[in-house]
A and B are shown apart, each in its own frame.
Chain A
Amino acid sequence: MISTRRYRLIRNSVFVWMTVVITAGFLMSIPKIDILEHTARNLYFHVPMWFTMMAAAIVSVFHSIRHLRKRDIESDLRAAEAARVALLFGFMGITTGVVWAKVTWYQGTSVWWNFDPRQTSVAIELMVYSAYFVLRSSFEDSELRGRISAAYNVFAFTTMPFLLYVLPRQLDSLHPGAEGNPAFSEITDPRMRLVFYPAIIGFMGLFWILYTQRVRYRLLKNSVENRYLNDNS
């Protein structure tokens, strides 16, 4: 069970932390770069989506492996809910990326999407994770569902480093970071790192809040359903 007091403390800290991050993201000065202009501030919001998705996928695969060893219901539903929130952040990442690309890569054209290697591979990644939920929904038996979807989730997780990091860097892409990790390379101005790194932590905290809420809901649902079954048997 989740300790309510500890949860409240972390939740409220994340609320304050992210409010400061958002405000600083707008107010702090940034280098004036041609084409990017103020959209450089998207670094604080678009890029942490992917870091958060990665963190959420790690949480998800951790619980899937745990489920394969212990065969308990809780780790199965924790894996599913972490993957669900990971997908949410992934979709927000790809959507914000499309908007950002429209005004930079494709400024002055009618192009919104052009199958850039990075965009294509993250789109595939999101489909791989969507398939996890399709797979889950195809089982009546909860033990079978837990075991097979946990095994699939381990596969899905192993594709992530290749689709997010290896493949896009092998191909010519408009996305920064084709030559290395954009977040930790010289191209990021030190002033922007002051907001960027806290933003990553804050969004991961936000993931934790949403994930914890979903887990509490699923445990409750489980408990209600079990009671109902016992009452009727």
Chain B
Amino acid sequence: MTTAEFASAITIVQDAQDARPSQDAEPGQEAPSGNSDGIVTPYDSVWANSNVPTQQPSGLEAALLKEDKLYTVLAVVLIIWFGILFFIARTDRKLDALENQERQA
């Protein structure tokens, strides 16, 4: 990517950001401009130019976003917990098999 191309990419992104209504900005206050929010980096060439999804979250996504995204953490913790349960149950089965084998020996 040449410098000119990069500069134009940045401009497009900034235009898109300016067009998007800022949620954080107070009325009458200017939203922080440029890439200060860390979204745009030189590595973002693929996603930066694509359209930021604007559709309303629905279904599972909406559930995960509720309560400051707390339910996402719950989902992660439950996945880990079920993984551990599966592992414990598997170890039990292996022990059962070995115990039977040892009883016959």
**A-to-B contact residues, CB < 8 Å:** 4, 7-8, 11, 15, 18-19, 22-23, 26-27, 38, 209-210, 213, 216-217, 220, 223-224, 227
Within 8 A of A (CB), among B37-82: 68, 70-71, 73-74, 77-78, 81-82
Known contacts: A11-B88, A209-B88. The answer to whether A22 contacts B96 by CB under 8 A is no
A217 to B92, CA, bound (A): 10
Bound complex: CA A222 to CA B31 (Å): 70
Q: How long is the Cα–Cα vector from A225 to B92 in the complex, in angstroms? A: 21
Tell whether, in the assembled complex, residue A227 and residue B81 are in contact, meaning their CB atoms are under 8 Å apart.
Answer: no
Contact present for A22 and B105 (CB under 8 Å): no
B78 A220 Cβ-Cβ under 8 A: no
Q: Is B5 in the interface zone, CB < 8 Å from A?
A: no
What distance in Å separates the Cβ of A41 from its nearest Cβ neighbour in chain B?
9
- A22 and B99 within 8 A (CB): no
- B: which residues have CB within 8 A of A? 68, 70-71, 73-74, 77-78, 81-82, 85, 88-89, 91-92, 95-96, 98-99, 102, 105
In the bound complex, do residue A22 and residue B70 qualify as a contact, i.e. CB atoms below 8 Å apart? Answer: no
Pair B78/A19 contact, Cβ less than 8 Å: yes
Cα distance A220–B100 in the bound complex, in angstroms: 10
A to B CB contacts below 8 Å, 25 in the list: A8-B92, A11-B89, A15-B85, A18-B81, A19-B81, A19-B82, A22-B77, A22-B81, A23-B74, A26-B73, A26-B74, A26-B77, A38-B68, A38-B70, A209-B88, A213-B88, A216-B95, A216-B99, A217-B95, A220-B95, A220-B98, A220-B102, A223-B102, A224-B102, A227-B105
Q: In the assembled complex, which residues on chain B have CB atoms less than 8 Å from the CB atom of A15?
A: 85
Measured in the bound complex, the distance between the Cα atoms of B93 and A7 in whole Å is 12
Give the chain A neighbours of B68 by CB distance below 8 A.
Answer: 38
Q: A22-B77, A23-B74 are in contact. List 5 more A-B contacts (CB 8 A).
A: A26-B70, A38-B70, A213-B91, A220-B98, A220-B99
